[in-house]
Structure 1
Amino acid sequence: MTSAAAHPATAARTCDRETSVTRSLLGYGVIAGPVYVGVSLTEALTRDGFDLTRHAWSLLANGDLGWIHVANFVLAGAMTTAFAVGLRRAHSRGWAPRLLGAYGLSLLAAGAFRADPAQGFPRGVPGGVPGGEVSWHGIAHLASGGVGFACLVAACFVLARRFARGGQAAWAWSSRATGALFAAGFLAVASGAGAAWANLAFTGAVVLGWAWISALAVHAYRNA
């Protein structure tokens, strides 16, 4: 039996190949946020009847062009899950990759279970949920979102603790701030009863969360 030590060239090629795969997976984390936010904003600014101050991005999954946002959810979820796998390969221990993987899976579920039309979108839908009732897929969408957001917030604080132990104060504080602000944005939209300030606060929190994931992916890529 031949050891890797006896063939350093083979060992180096194996190491390079594994590093390349890990970096490729981490790279998905860099682009997942810009793709999701870019597509969502483009939809929000071009879809008839959509109002950024009143409507959550999830509502874009409704209507004739709803398939675009469903695909956006699925693509972002797949890329985030791939990033979580890469983070696991780069840093084998800890809960952060699992939590971010769960967030990715929640995005896939959000795409599979469409939010109910509401608050006049798509155009012609009355304010609130039609009939005052939430469908089963609407409930599943809300549940997947709640679980996913909780996992993202938890990942922020788990990594903040790791960064603090490693002496990376800036990363520790930015991770804590992201987790706290994202949680505040989610609570605002959950309790704001459709208020413009609450919807805008949540939209800002979503953008911030994706920005943190992209920055984290770049950081992990450079250190892989």
Structure 2
Amino acid sequence: MQKIYAKNSRASLIRLLLIGGVVSAPLFYAIVAAQVFTRAGFDIRRHAISTLTLGDLGWIQSAAFIFSGLLAVAAAVGIRALLRGRKGGTWGPMLIGIYGLGMAMAGIFRPDPGLGFPAGAPAGVPTTMSGEASLHSLAFFAAFLCLIAACVVFARRFAAQGERGWGVYCMATAGISPLLIVVGMGVSSWIGVIMGSAGIVAFGWVSALAVRLRAEASVA
């Protein structure tokens, strides 16, 4: 009886931690959407989502980066506990955890102002990058690279389990999200939409994976 109680308690804790992954992407983009329509001077066609961390209300988006990142870290802990000793149980959660930390760091360090946002910012693209902006970019791209690698890890896991649909979904995410990043970096318009779409694909994968693994934890 005691062993059954301990097993049920462990499963409940894992499911609770995985909720962090479930809500991380929807919460992040709900906050982004609210600001896209309310922040004066912000134009999603010209400005990257990261620039919402600037200005008097920038703390809102900074908090969104940090909190969403920490939720992903919590999910990584849950994934590690669920998959310990199984295929993908080491590198998968480790990479998702690093992604979460990178997101949090991207909220702590902010990009440089430019393209007229926030109010009083230079009208053009910044010609130099500050140390803080460099750390922001480094954290963001490190997070993205780790997420792409995590997609590959879980694609292999699902393929080994015979779950072809999930394997294809993981590999599609690993291919589409960096492609959108490259396209976004190479254009001067719609950058916020394109880069934001890359985030929806990649961050949304974390939430979808967390939903899938919560179901697995329920029957483990």
Q: Which amino acid aligns with 2:110?
A: R
Q: CA shift at 1:123, angstroms?
A: 2.5
RMSD over equivalenced CA pairs, Å: 1.2
Cα distance in 1 between the residues matched to 2:114 and 2:74: 32
Counterpart for residue 6 of structure 1 = none
Counterpart for residue 156 of structure 1 = 151
Counterpart for residue 194 of structure 2 = 201
Give identity over the alignment, percent.
37
Alignment of 1:56-135 (within 5 A): 56-92=48-84, 93-130=89-126, 132-135=127-130
Q: Which amino acid aligns with 1:50?
A: F
> What TM-score comes out, normalization by structure 2 length?
0.93
Structure 2 gaps of 5+ residues are none
Between 23-32 and 205-214, the greater mean CA deviation after superposition: 205-214
Q: Which amino acid aligns with 2:101?
A: L
> What TM-score comes out, normalization by structure 1 length?
0.91
Deviations 1:84-136 (A, max 9, x none): 11011111133110110000000111011111112211123123345x22111
**Secondary structure at the counterpart of residue 38 of structure 1:** helix
Cα distance in 1 between the residues matched to 2:110 and 2:176: 26
Counterpart for residue 51 of structure 1 = 43
Q: Which amino acid aligns with 1:211?
A: G
Q: Which has the higher contact order (CA 8 A, sep 6+)?
A: 2
Q: CA shift at 1:158, angstroms?
A: 1.2
Structure 1 gaps of 5+ residues are 1-8
Cα distance in 2 between the residues matched to 1:119 and 1:180: 30
Cα distance in 2 between the residues matched to 1:107 and 1:201: 18
Deviations 1:48-72 (A, max 9, x none): 0111111111000000000101111
Q: Which amino acid aligns with 1:181?
A: I
Cα distance in 1 between the residues matched to 2:13 and 2:130: 41
Q: CA shift at 1:200, angstroms?
A: 2.2
